[in-house]
Amino acid sequence: MKPTVRTHPNAVVIELEGEADLATVPEFQNLVRQQMKAKVKRLIIDFAKVTFVNTPVWAVVVEYFQHASGAGTEFALSGIQGRVEASFKIVRLGDFITHLPSVEDALNTADLTSKR
């Protein structure tokens, strides 16, 4: 998995590409924790170019969600589709984590916490 961090006027977006498996978790987790330390006000993780996700990657997402909830940070996932969507549904993260079709949708949503 190749992560890229992009800063937009109203959010930080982590774009992921490729397979998000056990070997890529440490880099992804480090990137997410950097956003925690930076106290970003809005974070979007984009899965549009991800072809596979395993459970430890979802654990990192849950870790950030818990942090965001306590810190007043808006947080959303975007671009979840195909095999990634199947995995997302199995772990039932959509029950409590905001997820939108695209980064653009997330960037244009006034309050990401209201979309849960």
CB 8 within 8 A of CB 107: yes
Q: Does residue 116 fall inside a structural domain?
A: no
Burial of 61 (0-12, 13-18, 19+ CB in 10 A): buried
Q: Does residue 114 fall inside a structural domain?
A: no
Q: Does residue 93 fall inside a structural domain?
A: yes
Q: Does residue 87 fall inside a structural domain?
A: yes
pLDDT for the residue numbered 112: 80
Q: Does residue 15 fall inside a structural domain?
A: yes
pLDDT for the residue numbered 45: 96
Q: Give the integer Cα–Cα distance in Å for 13 and 29.
A: 14
pLDDT for the residue numbered 110: 78
Q: Give the integer Cα–Cα distance in Å for 75 and 2.
A: 20
Q: Does residue 61 fall inside a structural domain?
A: yes
pTM: 0.92
Q: Give the number of domains in the chain.
A: 1
pLDDT for the residue numbered 28: 92
pLDDT for the residue numbered 35: 93
pLDDT for the residue numbered 101: 96
Domain CATH for 28: 3.30.750.24
Q: Does residue 115 fall inside a structural domain?
A: no
Where in the sequence is the domain holding 103, given as residue range(s)? 2-109
pLDDT for the residue numbered 114: 59
pLDDT for the residue numbered 115: 54
The parts of the chain modelled with pLDDT lower than 50 are: none
